[in-house]
Amino acid sequence: MSAGVYDLKGQMLAQAVTGTPGHVNTMAMAVSHFLDRFPTESMRPGDVFVTNDPWMGTGHLFDYVMVTPAFHNDDPVAFFSSTCHVTDVGGRGFTADAGSCLRKGCLYLTCAFDQKVI
């Protein structure tokens, strides 16, 4: 598990001292992918974005990255992100007989978990 604070360009400003390098580094990469898909100007207070896509920044299906924008007077000022490891995501799990990454569990592409709409 890990947590971080990012500027509006997706650059890490701070990270949890307890985070593992595998989670900290992949979380940083995932934040930039969220910004590619969801431009800052489209975000609203209360938005939450999530992914466990191994190719977009988590490493494997069992790591989830969540990103939330932080606002001051309705203007985005930063992003908060956290990563957690979840073992039960459907599928065969972390096993050699899965045959492919996609058979190990559910894949959540970089998506809006809860997005406010104007």
pLDDT digit string (tens) for 15-25? Answer: 888 777 777 77
What residue numbers bound the domain in which 84 lies? 2-114
pLDDT of residue 69: 96
Q: Residue 87's pLDDT band (boundaries 50, 70, 90)?
A: confident
- CA distances from residue 17 to 9, 20, 51, 96, 108 in whole angstroms, order as listed: 22, 8, 23, 32, 27
pLDDT of residue 24: 79
Q: How far is CA 3 from CA 17, 62, 69, in A?
A: 9, 16, 14
Q: Is the Cβ–Cβ distance between 1 and 83 less than 8 Å?
A: yes
Predicted local confidence at residue 28, as pLDDT = 86
Backbone angles phi, psi at 17, to 5 degrees: -75, -15
Domains in the chain, number: 1
pTM, rounded to two decimals: 0.82
**CATH code of the domain covering residue 25:** 3.30.450
- pLDDT tens per residue across span 17-62: 877 777 777 888 889 999 999 999 989 999 999 988 888 877 777 8
